[in-house]
Chain A
Amino acid sequence: MIRKAKKTKKKPGGKLGPRRGPATERMPSGAALPYRLDDCEGYTPGSVACPGCGGALAMRHFLRAMGPDTAVVIPACCWAILAGQFPYCSLTVPTVNCVFAAAAAVASGAGAGLRARGDTRTRVMAWVGDGGTYDIGLQSLSGALERNDDLLYVCYDNEAYMNTGIQRSSSTPPGAWTTTTPQGKPRPKKNIMEIVTAHRIPYAATVSVAFPEDLRNKVEKAREIRGAKFIHVLSPCPPGWKSLSNETVKLARLAVDTKIAPLYEVEDGLRWRLTAEPRGLPVEEFLSRQGRFSRLAEPDIRRIQAEVDRNWAVLKRQAEVNPL
């Protein structure tokens, strides 16, 4: 069934009508905003996202950087709901919903179809949760990456099956409570970036909603590359993480600064570069703000710290030995 997206103002040159903020808008620190005020605003008000949704914030940043010539493919995940319910749509760009396991394949096909139609301008962006990326959709993701199909695959990772009400995924971090790991998850989080970079795709990166300038640089870079691009964005989820809805950006920043979710980019799967120097805070700063880690004892936290340190050492060495 085909429905009309919400009416959008069209500007000459095909640009979608921007929503302008006050010209003096600045960050609390006084620094300039990381985005331009005449950017494409692809995400309209009235979304049904939970307060403080990291995934919603991420979409807004990504669409600003991608611009209006973007088609979005969304499988089953929180965003299948956030995109709106018939006959409404919260995005101003063409949006496709698809089955859970197939976001990468639908995006590949959409790219091929657009090329066959002679449209070389529109970029296809698959927008997928961690369930659809790490678990059920891993096969089609691997297929698209190996073929180096022209698409940007974004995993907004809220570290569990949040749309069905907080069940563990292979992205859930160790020790985290979910409804299917009531005693805390015993296994480590799957390292999706190592899997993705093993495909030797032109570009892979991690971004954070707390570092929008870095996010923008990476998305703009990915947008201009032909072939398969993968971007991972950690998306704090207040209901699932049992965190405060006004601490989403803070948590995202703490994830970077504790080295739990470092920011880096990888070209051709071989050349690595760290794009932010973490402050190296203890993991406890990140964990203690979330109810999902409330049952962790001191030894658990030490184990997590040790694992984070190990992962960081591996990553840092990669960036030193195989620099970008």
Chain B
Amino acid sequence: MAGKKTRAKKKPRKRKAGAGRDLRRAGPGEIKVITGNYAVAYAAKLARVQVVSAYPITPQTSIVEKLSELCGSGELPAEFIKVESEHSAMSCLIGASLAGVRSFTATSSHGLAYMHEVLHWAAGQRLPIVLVNVNRAMGPGWNIWSDQTDSLAQRETGWAQFYCESNQEALDTVIQAFRVAEQALVPVMVVYDAFSLSHTSEAVELPAQEGVDRFLPAYKPAVKLDPADPRFFGGLVTPEHYMEQRWLLERDSRRILKLAAEAGREYGKITGRSYPVVEKYKAAGAEMLLLATGTIASTAKDVIDAWRARGRKVGLIRPRLFRPYPQEELRRICRGVKRVAVVDRNNSFGSGGVWCAETRSAFYDMPGKQRPQVLSYIAGLGGRDITTDVVDRILKMAWTGKAEPRGTWVDLKP
């Protein structure tokens, strides 16, 4: 206790962001024209993952194939456990991560759902595993196209979730995800759209390994599976201690907002590409903001340009993080904006769009005059195209405040 008091008297020294880290700009990387799936496979290699365990599922399969190739050729010196299910894929990574090594997997849709109980354990055991999920619709009927319901349904598992807009961002986010995960000891999911990213080739810069190594130092956990220092992981816990363990996870989940912002900035210093937690596009002075995620945001940017050209004050915001949800930052950005229109490629049955519900909840405590009206639009479920025309219609409805409380289903056939 005495020691604690002395420490409390000391003036807390604020750590300078990036202190002790070498943030010099790294040399140029290699440009490759690759799909989103190949991009994240290369990201895993750049992150020097040590154990990979994955099970193929459309549209994620080419990640597994590429990683098999990289591990098989020795280009990526990692153990690849070719498991018989996604449940085992995540379980293998729990074992590997407990042994103290960097671990990676990728899945999609039903694969992610099959992992569900193990996701809780990965987070509860505080293991910094990184998982790539290619957003795909849940059955029935079988649908392999883009839809966010699979990953959003994992909201309460304790995993952080990043959503990406481009192949480059997918690669960059996987590398940042490992750093954030290992700092907070919280597992991180990196999410992007089926086909429009997973199977579409774009020019992607693979950053120089030297820069990545400076940004992401080797993972050295304080405790691990080690007979010289025997520990007990995940054993029975009674009501006397359970809440405190969950609080520690909650506390560190909140820390991720800051860590992700810092990672996005420092990554920019090293590679030239920085990433904010919430991307703003022509948001300054906007009367109405469109909130969109993933590739919908790319399409929407064209529509925003057209509306701006016509003198309409509209802009776009794109949260990259879903868990933890950047409530404070969204409140700050949207303060005084008249309307925020949310496009959801997902649905929580009986409630509505998930991003909309999160945003409404974030805005609820704002003073009335500052609080934007939040309008909800459900579009593009099961991979139906969200074209510029669809976004344009959403903006038109939103501009006049037209939306059903639980979300207007756009383009619904009679």
Q: Interface of A with B (CB < 8 Å)?
A: 1-5, 8, 14, 68-71, 73, 80-81, 83-87, 89, 91-99, 101-102, 104-117, 119, 122, 124, 139-140, 142-143, 146-147, 149
Q: A14-B227, A96-B225 are in contact. Are A107 and B235 (CB under 8 A)?
A: no
Contact A146 B95 (CB under 8 A): no
- Return the chain B residue nearest A80 by Cβ: B236
Q: A73-B95, A93-B227 are in contact. Are A109 and B81 (CB under 8 A)?
A: yes
Q: Tell me the complex Cα distance, A4–B91, Å.
A: 22
Q: Is B73 interfacial (CB-CB < 8 Å)?
A: no
Q: A71-B225, A98-B91, A102-B118 are in contact. Are A87 and B98 (CB under 8 A)?
A: no
Contact B235 A3 (CB under 8 A): yes
Q: Tell me the complex Cα distance, A99–B79, Å.
A: 23
Would you mind naming 8 contact pairs between A and B with Cβ atoms under 8 Å apart?
A96-B234, A97-B235, A108-B88, A112-B92, A112-B95, A113-B50, A122-B226, A122-B227
- Return the chain B residue nearest A4 by Cβ: B231
What B residues does A119 contact at CB under 8 A?
99, 226
Contact A113 B227 (CB under 8 A): no
Q: A70-B227, A93-B227, A140-B84 are in contact. Are A86 and B238 (CB under 8 A)?
A: yes
Contact A95 B96 (CB under 8 A): no
Q: Which of B121, B124, B231, B234 has the most CB of A within 10 A?
A: B234
Q: Is B82 interfacial (CB-CB < 8 Å)?
A: yes
Q: Tell me the complex Cα distance, A303–B101, Å.
A: 54
* 8 smallest beta-carbon distances between A and B, as pairs: A113-B99, A109-B95, A109-B92, A110-B95, A143-B84, A113-B96, A102-B91, A105-B91
Interface string of B217-236 (1 = CB under 8 A from A): 00000011111101111111
The count of chain B contact residues (Cβ–Cβ below 8 Å) is: 49
What B residues does A8 contact at CB under 8 A?
230
What B residues does A86 contact at CB under 8 A?
232, 235-238, 241
Contact A5 B230 (CB under 8 A): yes
Q: Tell me the complex Cα distance, A140–B50, Å.
A: 21
- Which B80-108 residues sit within 8 Å CB-CB of chain A? 81-85, 87-89, 91-101, 103
Q: Which of B53, B78, B82, B87 has the most CB of A within 10 A?
A: B87
- Return the chain A residue nearest B83 by Cβ: A143
Q: Tell me the complex Cα distance, A130–B118, Å.
A: 21
Contact B126 A108 (CB under 8 A): no
Q: Tell me the complex Cα distance, A70–B227, Å.
A: 7
Contact A110 B82 (CB under 8 A): no
Contact A14 B228 (CB under 8 A): yes
**4 additional contacts (CB under 8 A) given A94-B231, A99-B91, A107-B95:** A108-B81, A112-B79, A116-B50, A143-B88
Q: Tell me the complex Cα distance, A108–B103, Å.
A: 13
Q: Is B125 interfacial (CB-CB < 8 Å)?
A: yes
Q: Tell me the complex Cα distance, A117–B235, Å.
A: 24
Q: Tell me the complex Cα distance, A14–B229, Å.
A: 10
- Return the chain B residue nearest A73 by Cβ: B95
Contact A113 B100 (CB under 8 A): yes
Contact A99 B50 (CB under 8 A): no
The smallest beta-carbon distance between A201 and chain B, in angstroms, is 15
Q: Is B31 interfacial (CB-CB < 8 Å)?
A: no
What B residues does A147 contact at CB under 8 A?
81-83
Q: Is B33 interfacial (CB-CB < 8 Å)?
A: no
- Return the chain A residue nearest B89 by Cβ: A105
What A residues does B124 contact at CB under 8 A?
1
Q: Tell me the complex Cα distance, A161–B58, Å.
A: 37
- Return the chain B residue nearest A90 by Cβ: B232
Q: Tell me the complex Cα distance, A83–B235, Å.
A: 7
Q: A97-B234, A147-B82 are in contact. Are A105 and B117 (CB under 8 A)?
A: no
What A residues does B99 contact at CB under 8 A?
109-110, 112-114, 116-117, 119
Interface string of B255-289 (1 = CB under 8 A from A): 00000000000000000000000000000000000
What A residues does B87 contact at CB under 8 A?
101-102, 105, 139-140
Q: Tell me the complex Cα distance, A218–B237, Å.
A: 35
Q: Tell me the complex Cα distance, A301–B48, Å.
A: 61
Q: Is B47 interfacial (CB-CB < 8 Å)?
A: no
Interface string of B236-249 (1 = CB under 8 A from A): 11100100010010
Q: Is B51 interfacial (CB-CB < 8 Å)?
A: yes
